[in-house]
Each structure stands twice: as structure tokens, then as C-alpha cells.
Structure 1
Amino acid sequence: MSRKLLPDFLARAHDDRDPSPWLALWLDQSTPLPDPVKTAWLADSSSASRQYLLPFLRPLARTVIVLLQVVKVFFPRNWSHSGALHALLVWGLKRFVSPQANWLILRHFHLGSQVLAFIARNSPAPVPTSPLEPTDIDALRDDLFLKHDLNLFNFVIRLNQALRDQGLELHKPAHLDLTMLRDPDLKLEDMPHGRLNFLDLQSAIELFTPLYQLLLTDNDFWRAANSLQLDETIGIYCATLLAAPEHLVLVNNKHPLVPLSTLRAGHRLVIHGLSTEMLHALLMRFKQAQAEGGVVHTTSGDASAQ
């Protein structure tokens, strides 16, 4: 990471009388995250935008969601402008969102695709996947946010239909195929970093969520929000294949059979993104241990992704 992008909690010396909570979290190794990812995540989380702007944006965004729900009663049921939505999202990401947040967003598509490929490849009833691997922010214009949600539900349906049709259940295979796992070829330094690129990840998500509701059908918006509840589902699949149920400890997007209000979708989306990073890091540790011919030793981490 360049000196320009180095967060303050790493740049200044530790003071016993004024310890940095962000430095404590960065040094802590109880959760499986690579140092570059943890650095970007905590730099974004410790930003002035998140500290001072998010508390005002969050209630405002949730109020807009409630008002839009009332207004959309009078809209045609098929009201949808996905192209306009993704154009606005790309415009906002490139001009206002921090380099760290943009990097984490792009990584999420790659990691989610790899996790689904891991499950599909190691299932006793393999199923096809539709990987999404954008190389830059402009690639998101191709309805990638919407496709991301569709991919998850379609994957769960195809996988379980194939297992049911063949009378099979997921179980740990004799040999885990981890060849699809890799670190995405995305560089933090390549992300937009103009003077206005200050908005943190959580604030950006809170701002973008009402746009989702306005420019998608109610069905698409509800499905996007509730796809987050499949974190536990994907986590169980991976824990079963790894025979490591202890790695479900940090999954907390609630029970998949109990739909939640869309008002908290922004906060849950952030949890979902972090869960994906943690599961991918865990799988990469298994891959490294497999390559070295040893036994993987991991900390208690997350087992959730899309």
C-alpha cells in the first residue's frame, strides 16, 4: 500500500495513554483476514466520513425507504430501470466513494464467485455457476449488482434441485478441489482517488439503498435485501464440505427462513461483505495447507459468502 493510502492508525506511533482501537483491531488475529484487506477495511471504517456523516445519512436513508414504499404503491408493478440504477451507481462510486471502499466492492464479486465455484465443484452433484469478475468500476454497468443477487438464488435452487434429484446430500469429499481460489488481480492503487473520493463503504451503501428501491421492482428490491439471509445457508454448505462447523461462529445475518425488514439492508450488506472476505481467507488457508501437505490451523472465522 502506498504511503498516501496508509491509514493514520498505522502511520503514528502507539501511545499507551491513548491507544488506537483501530490498531488493536488490525493487530488482532482472531478473525481470518489478510493484512491488506484488514488495512483497507479498517482505514475505511475509521474515516471521518463514517464517524461524522454516517449517523446523519442512515436515518435519512431509512426515512426515504419508508416514503418510497408508500409512493411505489401507485407505481406500475413492473416499474424497473436497472440500466439507470447501475449507471448512477458507477457514477457515484467513481466520483465520491473512497479507494478502499471501491476496492472492497470489486473484490466482493470475485470472492463470491469463487466461493460458489468451490461449493459447486466439491458437491456430489456438481452444478454450473455464472462467475462475475469485474476488472474495474465501469464493468459494473452490466447490471452486475442485480446479477449478483440472481446468481445466489439460482445457485441455491440448482444445487439443491440436483441433490434432491439424485438422492444425495452435501458431505466432505475425499479430496477438496480448491483450485478455483485465488487473490483477485485488483489493485487498491488503481481505484479512483480524487479530492471528492471520501465516502466510506457504509455511508455509500446507505445512500445507494434507496436508489435500489426506487429504480427496481418491489420484487427485485425485496430479493436483493433478503439474499443477505442466505449467508448462513452458504456458510453451512462450506462448513459441511470442510467438516469445520466451528467456522460459522461469526455468521449473523439472521435466520434465512425469517425475512427481515429492508430498513436494515445497508448494515446487513456490510456484514455480508465482511463475511465473504473472511470465508475466502479461510478457504485460502485450507488451500495453502493442502499445497504444503499439512493440516490447516485457523482461527474462529466466518463462513458466509455470495
Structure 2
Amino acid sequence: MKNEPDFLADGYDPADPNPWLALYLDRSTPLPDKVKKAWLTDSSSGSRQYLLPFLRPLARTFIIVIQVVKTCVPRRWSHSKLLHRILAWGLKRFVSPEANWLILRHFHLGAQALSFIAANSPVRITTTPLEPLEIDDLKDELFVKHDLNLFNFVIRLNQALRDAGVEMHAPEHVDFSMIRDPDLRLEDMPRGKLNFLDLQSAIELFTPLYQLMLTDNDFWRATNSLQLDETIGIYAAKLLGAPQHLILVNNGHPLVPMTTLRAGYRLVLHGLSTEMLHSLLTEMKAAQGEAPHSTPIV
């Protein structure tokens, strides 16, 4: 079938079952088919299979070297705007369409998750959504702003909860109005001859560059933000009265920060966790629409 990934185009052979086909057909996770197809197309690419094993140790070596070098440079040395221009240039010219689509989706899904928590929490707080529609929009320092948004949200939410003397709990009726499929099309992503790099390889390559061109404080904050996946998952679970869904949102205990060496791998987990949470919220929104209006959804 034209434009289908190999694991779908090749069909099913009981004597040699394709593991990617098994993961695509499996419905134990709530990812919609188009997202799962893009994720597995990217994961099953030759770039990830043959290039990533060489890139990952090199990237981690550079992280160590850069950490040593940065002990000799001014503490506030930073070139965030240049970094984001380089990242946008690299994404447009070398990264696969599926990976670019998933990256842009991540900003939208993260913004919706925070808006969902803000709208349903017992205290009122504001959010600052970041919703890029094309890769060039990332030049506005969106990667750094994404990390700042997350920490500022957690701080403001919990300050408001403490001041009000209340805890997160399920509201009588859950507001899912902000949960929607982002207006982003995979077909609109760059498809040049060099757009072959998979998501994990791209992240491993970009992580040392991220470390080099930001301050140590900004880089550590960015890597430590990955520890908050469970935190956001717990907030959502409390609002939904459904803690069992937290099992799909995990990236390490928030009180036990990990070293920056595994930041690339954990960033991929962060993206998948966000997709999982959004999918769960989308399913529950659909269930609420089908339920009688007099029945609270918790």
C-alpha cells in the first residue's frame, strides 16, 4: 500500500511476526491510530536502528565534555535565540516528517493538559499556552518557554492551593472543553531528501547543543522538568478520580532528579507520556458526551 510503513505494507506472517505490527495493533494503550502509526513509523526507521546506537554514546560523551568546558566560561553565558534558530533549521532540513509532527503536537498537548488542570482545580490560575503551527514558530525560544511554563504552573497552582487551604479533588463535573486534536497535519511537515532523522536520534544530537548554548541553570531546569511528568499525571488523576490512569504517565520520581546524561531518552518518554495523558482525556471527553447530562464524570 502506497505511503504505508513497512510494518503495515508487508502484512502479517505468523512464521515471522513483525514486532512493530504487534505494537500498532495492540490496544492496551489509548493512543489514536494516526499518532501510534507516526510514532512507530519513526521508531522503526533505519535511522533509529542503525544511527542511534552510535549517536547516543557520542552525545553523552559531549555532554560530559561540555560540562567540563562550561566550568571555565561565565555563568550567565547563553545564546538562547541562536540555539532556537539552529534547532528550527535542523528540524526543517534533517528530521523526519513524523518526528517534526510529534514535536509540534507536544506543545499543543502540553498546553491543553495544563489548561485542563487549571480549569478543574479548586483554585483559579491562568496558563500561558504555546501552540506553534509551524517549525519556524519554535524560533521564539519556545523550548525554553515550555520548561518555564511548566515550573511556573506548578508553583502558582500549589501556592494558590496552600493559600486557600484546599487540596486537589475531583469536581462535580469535569470540564474537557479545552481538549481537542491540534490543528496540525503530518502532510504539511518538511519532506526533503535529507529529512530522515528519527525523533530519538534528533533529540540525542540536539541535547548537547542545548547544553552548550544555555546556562547551566537553564539546562538543569530543562532536564529536571522531565521529573514533573508524574506530578502532572497525579493532578489529572485526582481531578478525574481515576488514579489508575497514572500508570501510563511516568518518567521517574519528581523528588529524585537524574543526571543530564539520559536527558535525550527521558525527553522521548516525556513526549509519549504527554500523548498518553491527552489520549486518556480525549477518551473521557468522548464518554462524557455520550453520558446523560445529569451524571457527573469522575
The interval holding the TM-score normalised by the smaller chain is over 0.9
Q: Are 2:82 and 1:84 equivalent residues in the alignment?
A: yes
The CA distance in 2 between the partners of 1:252 and 1:286, in whole Å, is 20
TM-score w.r.t. length of structure 1: 0.95
One-letter code aligned to 2:193: R
Q: Are 2:174 and 1:180 equivalent residues in the alignment?
A: no
The CA distance in 1 between the partners of 2:269 and 2:258, in whole Å, is 15
- TM-superposition CA deviations, 1:5-29 (whole Å, max 9, x none): x211111121111110000000000
CA contact (8 A) 1:285 1:296 kept: no
The CA distance in 2 between the partners of 1:129 and 1:30, in whole Å, is 32
- TM-superposition CA deviations, 1:210-259 (whole Å, max 9, x none): 01100000000000001000001001000000011111113331111111
**Matching residue of 1:104:** 102
CA contact (8 A) 1:49 1:200 kept: yes
Q: How many residues align?
A: 295
Runs of 4+ in 1 over 6 A off after TM superposition: 294-297
The CA distance in 1 between the partners of 2:200 and 2:138, in whole Å, is 19
The CA distance in 2 between the partners of 1:252 and 1:124, in whole Å, is 25
The CA distance in 2 between the partners of 1:280 and 1:259, in whole Å, is 25
The Cα shift of 1:103 comes to 0.2
**Matching residue of 1:217:** 215
**Matching residue of 1:3:** 2
CA contact (8 A) 2:249 2:276 kept: no
The CA distance in 2 between the partners of 1:44 and 1:13, in whole Å, is 18
The CA distance in 1 between the partners of 2:95 and 2:220, in whole Å, is 25
The Cα shift of 1:296 comes to 11
Q: Give the unaligned 5+ runs of structure 1.
A: 298-306
Alignment partner of 2:246 out of 237, 245, 248 = 248
RMSD of aligned alpha carbons: 1.4
TM-score w.r.t. length of structure 2: 0.97
Alignment partner of 1:19 out of 17, 20, 30 = 17
CA contact (8 A) 2:95 2:195 kept: yes
**Identity across the alignment (%):** 73
List aligned pairs for 1:55-74, cutoff 5 A: 55-74=53-72
List aligned pairs for 1:152-167, cutoff 5 A: 152-167=150-165
The CA distance in 1 between the partners of 2:213 and 2:2, in whole Å, is 39
SS of structure 1 residue aligned to 2:248: coil
The CA distance in 1 between the partners of 2:130 and 2:106, in whole Å, is 10
One-letter code aligned to 1:124: P
CA contact (8 A) 2:211 2:219 kept: yes
One-letter code aligned to 2:82: A
The CA distance in 1 between the partners of 2:160 and 2:18, in whole Å, is 50
One-letter code aligned to 1:236: I
**Matching residue of 2:197:** 199
CA contact (8 A) 1:44 1:100 kept: yes
Alignment partner of 1:151 out of 149, 152, 156 = 149
**Matching residue of 1:302:** none
The CA distance in 2 between the partners of 1:14 and 1:175, in whole Å, is 44
The CA distance in 1 between the partners of 2:49 and 2:124, in whole Å, is 45
CA contact (8 A) 2:91 2:135 kept: yes
**Matching residue of 1:127:** 125
- TM-superposition CA deviations, 1:183-233 (whole Å, max 9, x none): 001000000011100000000000000011000000000000010000010
Which stretch has the larger CA shift, 261-270 or 245-254?
A: 245-254
The CA distance in 1 between the partners of 2:248 and 2:111, in whole Å, is 21
CA contact (8 A) 2:88 2:136 kept: yes
CA contact (8 A) 1:286 1:296 kept: no
